[in-house]
Structure 1
Amino acid sequence: MSLPLPALKQQGQIFLIALAFFTRIPIPADTPYSPELLNKANRYFALVGLVVGLISAGSFWLAHLLLPASVAVIFAMAASLLLTGAFHEDGLADVFDGFGGGWQPEQKLEIMKDSRLGTYGAAALFIVLAMKWASLTALAEVSPAFTALALFCLHGLSRAIAASLIFSYPYVRLDEQSKVKPLANEQSQQDLWVLIITSFFILLFLPLPMALTLTIALLLVRYACGRWFTRQLGGYTGDCLGACQQLAEITGYLIILAIVAQQ
């Protein structure tokens, strides 16, 4: 049964709100906004990732026509960073600063709110970016087509994994300085199903054995991150979602590289 036109229009508006919240991509100025609509935007987190992934993959492919693979990968990474304003990378750095520098959950949360970059965060950010560049460059030297496909798929799948944490764990910081305060509510079954269906659609672009391996690996990342965040904080914050997205993304690149390299 198809949705009535007003419902489809509202879903389009929610997607645009998600696009504006999670990226720097402009949306029409007359797009209606409310906290309720924004709270539903996490259902389209993976779909927004597909937009970012498509642009990142396109940047890689165009650059690779003229430049070596290692340089083309930098163009792809730069495109995603510019599109998102390093939104998720910032979360990763904050998580490692907080978890590495604090003893009690309150201390960790206070450190994570600090806009300054510490040693733990800088080290984690450097390692993750270096691993992205190294794994994608190695993949591009074997198969440029799979590199573009990996960029497209993993930007979406990693965001689905991160957003799904909202459904399973409590949000531990409800204050005015929270980066995702409007999204800090329980996720509905409908929101979760939109993420699952979007993820299934993305996996259809991959060979079946690769899709199954990726699914298992990313679910393990989700489980590990959930346990990690719960032990450290008792739940998740917006920074935790960003860290999970980054860890899932780099895990996906490494899995695809390992499979393609053995073929």
Structure 2
Amino acid sequence: MKKELRIFFTAMMFLTRLPVPRFTDHSADYLERSVKYFPLIGWMVAGISGLTFLIFNKYISEDIAIAASIIAGLLTTGAFHEDGFADVCDGFGGGWTKEKILLIMKDSRLGSYGVIGMMSVLLCKFLLLKELPKFTPDLQTPSVNIFYNYRYLLLTLVAAHGVSRLMPVWVMRYYDYVTDPDGSKSKPVASRKPTILFLIVPTITALLPFVFMSWQFVLVVIPVVYGAFSLARYFKKWIGGYTGDCLGAIQQVSELCFYLSMIIIWRYVI
């Protein structure tokens, strides 16, 4: 149990800026095993973002609450995945060969493609999150319990952050890691492909929130998986596999696909 706790805190240290116990070190073995807790870390990020939304929505306004929840998520993760998405935009936008793409993605400076990509992701996230409260059935008969009123929104956030962090783990199972492994912080995570048996735990964790929703919402997984593996195939075509930045981009795109799919199901299926 103590070992699993250390593995969990390793995942927490890798994906977030949240404080961890002092006994959590930088063990490569623990980091490799920590991917099974990635969806659970997503739950934590969703919880912080959701709580921030509820507080600001109660005392200020919905728009400010959505912006605050996004900022809270960015501060919690240190913009870990957003930075990867921006690097991918720079690399694939400005490079036409594998070597050039990898070289640009390693550059710590942010280019025009990265800026545009980052702005687009944040704008899309804001607009999609703004639509979600409008389709929550519980708001038609609100109670004094704000958590109950927004339970579907909170569940959506938890499911979105969990499933979107599951997608990179599955991509690691079927695609190869590229770039210089000795100079990459993702080397321990990508050094060995996770087995199907190993993926059972994170998959169950990511899908658990759907137990508390209407069964139709499970359909959101289809476009999310399609989008994630379409990106993975695109990365393989150009650079032969994925990098840590590519996994970050997959998480961001998967999260946006999740929100969009939820809105479509709310509007046209439920």
User: How high is the TM-score relative to the length of structure 1?
Assistant: 0.92
2:236 pairs, out of 230, 245, 248, with 230
Shift of 1:237: 0.3
2:202 paired residue number: 195
Contact in 2 for aligned 1:164/1:195 (Cα 8 Å): no
Other structure's SS at 1:115 match = coil
1:140 pairs, out of 106, 119, 133, with 133
For residues 42-92 of structure 1, the C-alpha deviation after alignment (integer angstroms, 9 at most, x for no partner) is 111111111111111111112111222111111110111000000000000
Other structure's SS at 2:183 match = coil
Shift of 1:32: 4.9
RMSD over equivalenced CA pairs, Å: 1.5
Distance 1:153 1:28 in 2: 27
Distance 1:156 1:147 in 2: 14
Shift of 1:124: 1.2
Contact in 1 for aligned 2:216/2:265 (Cα 8 Å): no
Distance 1:62 1:142 in 2: 20
Structure 1 residues 173, 205: closer, same or farther in 2, change over 3 A?
A: farther
2:179 paired residue number: 173
For residues 181-222 of structure 1, the C-alpha deviation after alignment (integer angstroms, 9 at most, x for no partner) is 2212122324322221212323223321012x1111111112
Distance 1:172 1:202 in 2: 33
1:81 paired residue number: 74
The 5 A counterparts of 1:1-263 are 8-143=1-136, 144-189=150-195, 190-211=197-218, 213-262=219-268
- Percent identity, aligned pairs only, is 38
Deviates more, 1:243-252 or 1:45-54: 45-54
Shift of 1:138: 1.9
Shift of 1:33: 4.4
Distance 2:194 2:267 in 1: 40
Other structure's SS at 1:40 match = helix
Other structure's SS at 2:109 match = coil
For residues 18-38 of structure 1, the C-alpha deviation after alignment (integer angstroms, 9 at most, x for no partner) is 001110011110235421111
User: How high is the TM-score relative to the length of structure 2?
Assistant: 0.89
Distance 2:92 2:151 in 1: 38
Other structure's SS at 1:28 match = coil
Distance 2:56 2:174 in 1: 40
Deviates more, 1:180-189 or 1:72-81: 180-189
Contact in 2 for aligned 1:94/1:117 (Cα 8 Å): yes
